[in-house]
Structure 1
Amino acid sequence: MRLPDAYIILFVFLVLAAAATYIIPAGEFETEESSEGIDVIVPDTYSVIDSNPAGFLDIFSAIVDGLISTSNLIFLVLIIGGVFAVIEKTGAIDALVTKIIRITRNKEWMLIMLVMIIFSIFGTLGIIVNAVIAFIPLGIILARSMKMDAIIGVSIIYLGAYTGFAVAILDPLTIGFAQQIAEVPLFSGAGVRVVMYTITLIATMAYVIWYANRIKKDPSRGILKDNPFPKDSNDGSELGRQEMKPKHILVLLALLIGIGAYVTGVFTAEWNLEEMAAVFLVVMVATAIIGRIHVNDMVTTFMQGANSVLYGALIIGMARSIVVILENGMILDTVVNFMAVVTEPFTSTMGAIMLFIGNGLFNLIVTSGSGQAAIVMPIMSPLADIMGFPRQIAVQAYTMGDGFTNIITPLSGVLMANLAIAGVPYTKWIKFALPLVGIWYILGIIYIIILVAINWGPV
């Protein structure tokens, strides 16, 4: 028996989504355009409409629509994959890994913490969330240098970024947008969120370090067992030999300046994925000049790098196709209305917890942070008023509900792309990630209980 490919798993979900359009009644809320030009739901306007079930051809058309609607992210992944291949050709990545290995020799926990903290900061600011895919190869290199497995390689990059994203502090597309819909002061409550972010990050790092120590002592106890790097036959013996040279420093400095320029653009000029792709192309040209790489070699290397992440890039569109089917079948609003009906009888603490858990379940279907905010926040905000707790808590319930299940839903194109690039089977990842999601939910429920107790509002 062979485990099904990630594309096959997603296609099965696509067929199930199409079947759901025949079972779940179609319905819709009235919407109004926000100041950002995004349609948000008007509460208490849900009505049943004529069903629009998906036909046979619609299933395959949804795949095309999914690829088209996520084309900016797909091309970003391809571009960054190609750019990193050019950077790697200069030896700068190997030199950096060598330096890190020497600094953290016999202190793997320090390396894991350092990388996860850096990416969690990016995540909590909303800088590198979807684009985290491009850094997975670096995580795999670091995992090989520590003689661990691909799950650790994915974890130190992906879990680092998504821990920050799940307890976002200054992410304009999730926490900022949700607060605007809830009519809560923009980025208010940052001080309390810093505390929650810190606790959640510490718990996540502790879990990853626990698993790392487990396989360090006995590799057979790893989830991937005798095949720690399914997509990489290299044993990592060549790592730690590249000396840092002036050209390596300049290449890494160009990359750092590029990322810094993008971060600045996000907060000052509302830059998006397109600008990020452009910045990385500039970094590639600078890298080729510094590394004295011939233009023809630069193009060849870029194509090889892009090809190496093509499988993971296209899976983003495949995951999106499932949401396309649900949207075209007009059943997403029905699910949201069901959530509203179920949670309305609850009051205060239990109600807030139900909103948190309910939104986590909804996130298994709709994994877009800003898209989910536009759907659920207009419902959750008045529900918070009815159940007697501040809207700030509803915003937090949405943020954690959106973030905590991102790392296990097969409908997340980012997750499936990460796993595809690393060669980690989805079933193996679930075995590793489910206990962590349980830890996160326990923490989330504790946070909600405390926040309701202190009547946490805009601060």
Structure 2
Amino acid sequence: MNTTTKKKFKFSMPDAFIIIFSIVALASIATYIIPSGAYDRETIDGVTRVVPDSYAKTEANPTNLLDLFTSIQIGMVQSANIIFLIFIIGGIVRVIESTGAIDSGINSLIQKTKGRYMLLITSVAGIFGLLASMGLAANAVIAFIPIGIALARSLKLDAIVGISTIYLGYYAGMIAGIFDPTILGLAQTIAELPLFSGMPLRIVIFIALITITITYTNLYAKKIKHNPERSIMGNKPFGDHEEVEVSTQENVQNTTFSAVQKSVLLTFIGAIGIFIFGAFTRGWGLNELVGIFLIMGVVIAIIARITPNNFVKTFIEGAQAITYGALVVGLARAVIVVLEDGKIIDTIVNAALGPLQSMPVLLGGQLLFIFNLLFNLLVTSGTGQAAIVMPIMVPLVDMLGITRQTGTLAFMLGDGITNIITPTSGVLMAVLAVGGVKWTQWVRFAFPIMLMWVIVGIISITYAIYTGYGPF
């Protein structure tokens, strides 16, 4: 008698590539359903803005099958600066790790703080939050992720703790934007508000966001400290980087923090400091960050007496280790390529914001916030979103009877919060690539904190509407 064994179906979370490609496919289908349209643009003081009430339908340009797959190549090309930034940071960081400087430095810090991991997480997250609230760090946050990973590894935690400490600490400050001259500055300029006005409420928002971030990260760290099996990363707490990172740690954990290692670490810190100064005073961006990293790598190779051949070999190993994450960035960009080529982004904005004119004040203000949360899934650039949304929001909030400062706050909160999970964010995907964490793993961790941040946003908008949140 033959017996058959039925295989039990077990759900397996799709890979990030499959999830993002599905989003690209859905965006392509949307180009057949959503009418094409566009606002007129004008350039004022070097800033391109949407002209309110200028929306008009345009000739449809739906995405065909070839366009769908071509968008991936175009997305890779358009994201080339971030993709190569990831490769180069991965390579240079591997060179630094080969000297043992990062691990030895972190181990020395842990010894001085007597292993108080909660204190370390709180301090580091708070520092990055303050930097981001002043418009500093910006894309340089990607370069600091290896420090967070090394800290988490030395504390016997996981890569998610390392990324959360740096990245979420940074975003808590960026969302509040207390003295942010870029995103906040552009939004307030378009709204014709005094620069940095409305600061007291943004300080309160920052305190709320950073407190939630630190508490949430510490609770997770405490959970996996006592029971490593509860880590979202499973039995590989540092993901694809596990093997190399473990071997690196073993090479340094029984050594002292040598003069060479101190010099290497000081060179790293000094290079990042130079970039932050250049970004703040000279408008440096990703290209300059790559240049600084390459120069730093050469200087460190000289200090640590790494031969040219070994330098190249180690660099390539580091770049290879994060190929997966680098390519995800380009694939995610394909979503934007499809939406832009299909000319439906402006249609989405017009359809979503138009009906808000007849809404009650409180509901209208909250829907403005929700709209920006969702629109940020499509346009993750803060300045890009400000240029599209703010010119339309200004007359809208005037008609609703909401202050322009409240409208700017709704934009700032909406622009930043969903950035911590959206796969279309090049910075997020770069951070995850450098940290060795899969997007699906990260979403499991970050989604609850995003919901808590949304609640802070709703409360803040409600307060702003009821108090007539003004310019000062």
**TM-score, structure 1 as length reference:** 0.93
Residue type of the partner of 1:210?
L
Separation in structure 1 between the aligned mates of residue 355 and residue 255 of structure 2, nearest angstrom:
59
CA offset at residue 168 of structure 1? 1.7
Query: Secondary structure at the residue paired with 2:42?
Result: strand
Separation in structure 2 between the aligned mates of residue 176 and residue 284 of structure 1, nearest angstrom:
34
Please tell me whether residue 15 in structure 1 is matched to residue 25 in structure 2: yes
Please tell me whether residue 162 in structure 1 is matched to residue 171 in structure 2: yes
- Of 85, 97, 103, the residue aligned with 2:106 is 97
Counterpart residue number, 1:187: 196
Query: Secondary structure at the residue paired with 2:196?
Result: coil
CA offset at residue 50 of structure 1? 2.0
Please say if residues 373 and 415 of structure 2, whose CA atoms lie closer than 8 Å, have aligned partners that are also in contact: yes
CA offset at residue 40 of structure 1? 1.3
Counterpart residue number, 1:408: 421
Counterpart residue number, 1:296: 309
Counterpart residue number, 2:182: 173
Query: Secondary structure at the residue paired with 2:104?
Result: helix
Please tell me whether residue 367 in structure 1 is matched to residue 376 in structure 2: no
Query: Secondary structure at the residue paired with 2:281?
Result: helix
Residue type of the partner of 1:398?
F
- Of 445, 461, 466, the residue aligned with 1:448 is 461
Please say if residues 76 and 131 of structure 1, whose CA atoms lie closer than 8 Å, have aligned partners that are also in contact: no
Counterpart residue number, 1:260: 273
Separation in structure 2 between the aligned mates of residue 94 and residue 169 of structure 1, nearest angstrom:
33
Change (3 A) 1:284 1:220: closer
Counterpart residue number, 1:439: 452
Counterpart residue number, 1:27: 37
Residue type of the partner of 1:386?
M
- Of 383, 401, 405, the residue aligned with 1:388 is 401
Separation in structure 1 between the aligned mates of residue 43 and residue 339 of structure 2, nearest angstrom:
22
Counterpart residue number, 2:5: none
Counterpart residue number, 2:213: 204
Counterpart residue number, 2:14: 4
Counterpart residue number, 1:322: 335
Query: Secondary structure at the residue paired with 2:358?
Result: coil
5 Å matches for 1:49-448?
Answer: 49-231=58-240, 232-233=242-243, 238=250, 240-448=253-461
Change (3 A) 1:27 1:9: same
Query: Secondary structure at the residue paired with 1:344?
Result: helix
Query: Secondary structure at the residue paired with 2:424?
Result: coil
Give a deviation string over 1:251-272, Cα, whole Å, max 9, x none.
2222222222222222221222
Separation in structure 2 between the aligned mates of residue 127 and residue 264 of structure 1, nearest angstrom:
9
The range that moved more, 385-394 or 201-210, is 385-394
Separation in structure 2 between the aligned mates of residue 135 and residue 103 of structure 1, nearest angstrom:
21
Paired residues, number: 458
CA offset at residue 374 of structure 1? 1.2
Separation in structure 1 between the aligned mates of residue 451 and residue 12 of structure 2, nearest angstrom:
29
CA offset at residue 441 of structure 1? 1.0
Please say if residues 322 and 436 of structure 2, whose CA atoms lie closer than 8 Å, have aligned partners that are also in contact: no
CA offset at residue 191 of structure 1? 4.0
Residue type of the partner of 1:17?
A
Separation in structure 2 between the aligned mates of residue 271 and residue 25 of structure 1, nearest angstrom:
38
Separation in structure 2 between the aligned mates of residue 127 and residue 241 of structure 1, nearest angstrom:
36
Change (3 A) 1:90 1:235: closer
Query: Secondary structure at the residue paired with 2:410?
Result: helix
Please say if residues 112 and 156 of structure 1, whose CA atoms lie closer than 8 Å, have aligned partners that are also in contact: yes
Query: Secondary structure at the residue paired with 1:406?
Result: helix
CA offset at residue 294 of structure 1? 2.4
Residue type of the partner of 2:215?
A
Separation in structure 1 between the aligned mates of residue 370 and residue 459 of structure 2, nearest angstrom:
13
Please say if residues 311 and 421 of structure 1, whose CA atoms lie closer than 8 Å, have aligned partners that are also in contact: no
Query: Secondary structure at the residue paired with 2:49?
Result: strand
Structure 1 unmatched ranges of 5 or more: none
Please say if residues 376 and 419 of structure 2, whose CA atoms lie closer than 8 Å, have aligned partners that are also in contact: yes
CA-based RMSD of the aligned residues comes to: 2.2
Query: Secondary structure at the residue paired with 2:419?
Result: coil
Please say if residues 174 and 369 of structure 1, whose CA atoms lie closer than 8 Å, have aligned partners that are also in contact: yes
Query: Secondary structure at the residue paired with 1:271?
Result: coil
The range that moved more, 210-219 or 130-139, is 130-139
Query: Secondary structure at the residue paired with 2:182?
Result: helix
Please tell me whether residue 43 in structure 1 is matched to residue 52 in structure 2: yes
Change (3 A) 1:250 1:312: same
Give a deviation string over 1:232-254, Cα, whole Å, max 9, x none.
14658736434222222222222
Query: Secondary structure at the residue paired with 1:156?
Result: helix
Change (3 A) 1:443 1:242: farther
Residue type of the partner of 2:21?
F
Residue type of the partner of 2:317?
Q
Please say if residues 141 and 153 of structure 1, whose CA atoms lie closer than 8 Å, have aligned partners that are also in contact: yes
Please say if residues 123 and 161 of structure 1, whose CA atoms lie closer than 8 Å, have aligned partners that are also in contact: yes
Please say if residues 27 and 49 of structure 1, whose CA atoms lie closer than 8 Å, have aligned partners that are also in contact: yes
Structure 2 unmatched ranges of 5 or more: 1-10
Residue type of the partner of 2:127?
I
The range that moved more, 320-329 or 57-66, is 57-66
Please say if residues 188 and 195 of structure 2, whose CA atoms lie closer than 8 Å, have aligned partners that are also in contact: yes
Residue type of the partner of 1:428?
Q
Residue type of the partner of 1:401?
G
Separation in structure 2 between the aligned mates of residue 423 and residue 2 of structure 1, nearest angstrom:
20
CA offset at residue 347 of structure 1? 4.1
Please say if residues 81 and 305 of structure 1, whose CA atoms lie closer than 8 Å, have aligned partners that are also in contact: yes
Please say if residues 178 and 199 of structure 2, whose CA atoms lie closer than 8 Å, have aligned partners that are also in contact: yes
